[in-house]
Structure 1
């Protein structure tokens, strides 16, 4: 409790570990709440939770409550899952895919991720999961970073097409991206051209928390 109160004055780190995938994993009290950070960016809760909440509100909480199944690619500490369950009151099935098993251990210990009854966590590669799964989803949330780097496969046409295939009719994709330079801005603009405008409605929410751009994709048919 003392650390929590003190965190309103200055962040208080309570856990730090090395990870082969994420380099550094840190749990910190900041402004009275626990956050999960990598070496250079926020991984869960804090600013990331605010960013993804903007996207979920853009889709509409009423629409999300009525959904049956949600896929989260990139779980980290599980802040977006907490928003879905605690704030939106989503009761359908959530499948979370996370490559870094060390992060899931931290999420279970400090953020009680393993106590969410309608969540199944898969430790594995998101690309392989998307390639192999036979399930379809009402909402696919993509939030995959290794520190501040986004894997190239997220922007490849094959992966995009597979994501669209796994999406149910009238379903949504919420894609969190980071733009730090002009080449990444061009990358995002090119990404948007891979969608058939008659099948998908696309909108962007730029410059959230300065560097993040959300892409919201709605499957129309």
Structure 2
């Protein structure tokens, strides 16, 4: 409790480790809440939770609560899962795909992710999972970072087409991206310009928390 109170003045680190995939991982009290960070970026809770909450609100909590299946690519500490369960009151099936088992161990230990009853965690590479899955989803959330770096495959046409194929009628993709320089800004612009699908609509929610841009893809029928 003392660390939580003190965190309103300065961040208080309570756990730090390294993994072969995520490298530096820290759990910190900040402004009265536990957050999960990499060396240079917020991984879960804190600003990231605010970003994805805004994306979910732009889709509409009232739409999401009626959905049956949601896929989360990149779980980390599970903040978007907690938003879906605690705020949206989503009762359907949640599938979270995370490549780093150490991250899931931390999420269970510090953020009680294993207490979410309607959640299935799959330890796998997101690209491989998307190729293999036979399920269709109402909402796909992409939130994959290695510190401040995003894997290039996320922006490839093949991967995007596969995600669109996995969407149910009137489904959504919510894609969290980070823009730190002109090259990444051009990358996002090209992604949006190159997206030409008559059955889909694409839009952005720009510059959330300074460096984040959300891309929303909606299947129209």
TM-score range, shorter chain: over 0.9
Q: What is the CA deviation profile of residues 142-179 of structure 1, one whole-angstrom value per residue up to 9, with x for unaligned ones?
A: 00000000000000111011000001110000000001
Deviation at 1:212, TM superposition (A): 0.2
CA distance in structure 1 between the aligned counterparts of 2:132 and 2:220, rounded to whole angstroms:
24
1:70 aligns with 2:51: no
The CA deviation at 1:197 is 4.7
**Does the residue aligned with 1:149 lie in a helix, a strand or coil?**
coil
Q: Out of 183-192 and 87-96, give the one that drifted further.
A: 183-192
Question: Which range is displaced more, 190-199 or 179-188?
Answer: 190-199
* Equivalent position of 1:211 in the other structure: 211
Gaps of 5+ in 2: none
User: Superposed, which structure 2 residues align to 1:1-221 within 5 Å?
Assistant: 1-221=1-221
Kindly report the root-mean-square deviation, in angstroms, between the aligned alpha carbons of the 2 structures.
Answer: 0.7
How far 1:198 sits from its partner (Å)?
Answer: 2.2
Distance in structure 2 (CA, Å) of the matches to 1:159 and 1:193: 16
Q: Quote the Cα distance in structure 2 between the aligned partners of 1:70 and 1:199.
A: 20
Cα distance in 1, alignment partners of residues 194 and 85 from structure 2: 32
Distance 1:97 1:213 in 2: 22
- Give unmatched runs, 5+ long, in structure 1: none
C-alpha displacement at 1:108, in angstroms? Answer: 0.1
Q: Structure 2: how far apart are the matches of 1:197 and 1:208?
A: 26
Question: How far is the alpha carbon of 1:199 from its aligned partner?
Answer: 1.2
Q: Displacement, 1:21?
A: 1.0
Q: Tell me how many residue pairs correspond in the alignment.
A: 221
CA distance, structure 1, for counterparts of residue 94 and residue 118 of structure 2: 6
Look up the SS of the partner of 2:216 in the other structure: strand
What stretches of structure 1 move > 3 A for 4+ residues in a row?
A: none
- Deviation of 1:196 after TM superposition, in Å, equals 2.7
Task: Kindly state the Cα deviation for residue 121 of structure 1 after the two structures are TM-superposed.
Answer: 0.3
Please state whether the residue corresponding to 2:77 is helix, strand or coil.
coil
For 2:194 and 2:86, how far apart are their aligned partners in 1?
34
- 1:64-83 Cα distance to aligned partner (Å, 9 max, x none): 00000000000000000000
- Provide the TM-score with structure 2 as the length reference: 0.99
| In structure 2, distance between residues paired with 1:2 and 1:220 | 50
SS in 2 for 1:193: helix
